[in-house]
Structure 1
């Protein structure tokens, strides 16, 4: 079991994961709202490049150079980060670094923030994985992009941060089947659901309402990683639920507020 540690900065709590201890990183709580990645990066590691995207619940993963090209809009490359005007940000749900001293950030408020690091190349990724992104395999997509930069599966370390847990995340059976199709070979909806129920430590839990189930998105991501050949020792899942811990986390499902918590990580020298 990988350890998750509460840290404080100016008296405010945030989480780190022992799996990523050699990288500057943090899963920040709602107490840091509305501080931006610009401010949070200064706390983690000053004087590094800072990158975030406009999250759209897809599976596109960009590099910093791709983000800068999109945001320059044909003009002179602006210094990053953009002045936090979402309309100026490139649209994606994951970022992978290309060189040392690049900080990458994602925001979440029930969806899974995934931070990935490569112990050999020093590159890292930050991924926003809601049910739609998970159905579209965004975490495997980020890993595939890291592999194009020389990463090997055995060198990856993956931390899945605070998110809504399966015990309280009610979804339709259609949504569950769409997410389940990312780990079950092409089958009919009911066959996918049956196959998911039969898995040991199934990502599906019963729900009292007809046509509904409870879905553990982080468990599905873990199974996607398993299918890629990632060993369980390379993956850590935070024992924290955004919905059930209002003292620490925003939950869109609970509060219906457009507020988020940030998760970020800084790339290292190889």
Structure 2
């Protein structure tokens, strides 16, 4: 288990497809939380100390786009997209799993702990997006809905660059026959047979294909496994397997400078 390290810098992972636009995929390095969520936990529902979460969020924002206004949503594994014209009032957050904006000075944030975070930009149009793509959201169309919402703000899908950040990898993602039955035969490339009655699911590959089919111009797959890289990332499945009482969440952030 990683220890809390207040003297460790926040790790910011960047993608070539998003070059020139402030963004970052963050993990657990560089935060002040302790215990099983030691590190840069930014999850409001992790049972963490509120002051630690607030400090971690401040550090995350400072590492990606200082002086921006952070905007997040209440994630529910849906295909719904929120459009940001200005930060939500008070503590209000719409129930959605993606956010898009064309407003300078906002920083869009998605929290994950195995699901695939996807950041998107059409830098020429000045439009950005962030999506939380677990298997439900990805299968339900959250990525296509994000691209369509960006288009309504003036983006062109062929110009959109996307990056899929740290997520549970196929080698770590065992599912059973009932899970496999939720997907069609066209999805067979993303399932590898495992032990009897089980499969290994490629969430990152599945999300990449949905983006390709939506007409996105370029896609970076970072290939970072949240489950296997304990010192670097939080993982819901790892915490569940260990019967830990809670689990941390990491940020993926993208914004437009003023």
Query: Normalising TM by the smaller chain, what interval?
Result: 0.7 to 0.9
Of 208, 213, 220, which aligns to 2:199? 213
Q: CA deviation at 1:67?
A: 6.6
Where do 5+ consecutive residues of structure 1 fail to align? 1-8, 69-76, 83-87, 181-191
1:136 corresponds to which of 140, 151, 162: 140
Structure 1 residue 225: deviation in Å? 1.7
Q: Distance in 1 between matches of 2:124 and 2:115?
A: 28
Give 2:213's aligned residue: 227
Does residue 61 of the first structure (1) align with residue 81 of the second (2)? yes
Matches within 5 A, 1:1-270: 11-31=9-29, 32=31, 33-34=40-41, 35-65=55-85, 68=88, 77-78=89-90, 82=91, 88-178=92-182, 180=183, 192-193=184-185, 195-197=186-188, 202-210=189-197, 212-231=198-217, 234-256=218-240, 257-267=246-256
SS in 1 for 2:223: coil
RMSD between superposed Cα atoms in Å:
2.0
Deviation at 1:10, TM superposition (A): 5.2
Structure 2 residue runs without a partner (length 5+):
1-6, 32-39, 42-54, 241-245
**SS of structure 2 residue aligned to 1:221:** helix
Give me the whole-angstrom Cα distance separating, in 2, the residues matched to 1:229 and 1:25: 22
Moved over 4 A (4+): none
Q: How many residues align?
A: 225
CA-CA distance at 1:30 after TM superposition:
1.1
Contact 1:100 1:123 in 2 (8 A): no
Deviations 1:147-166 (A, max 9, x none): 11121111101000010011
CA distance in 2, matches of 1:229, 1:127: 16
Give yes or no for contact 1:24–1:265 (8 Å, CA) kept in 2. Answer: yes
Return closer, same or farther for 1:169/1:141 CA change in 2, 3 Å cut-off: same
C-alpha separation in 2, matches of 1:239 and 1:58: 24
Cα deviation per residue 1:59-85 (whole Å; 9 max; x = unaligned)?
1110124872xxxxxxxx44xxx3xxx
Structure 1 residues 43 and 14: alpha-carbon distance in aligned structure 2, compared to 1, 3 A threshold:
closer
- What is the TM-score of this pair, normalised by structure 2? 0.80
- Distance (whole Å) between structure 1 residues aligned to residue 96 and residue 86 of structure 2: 11
TM-score by length of 1: 0.77
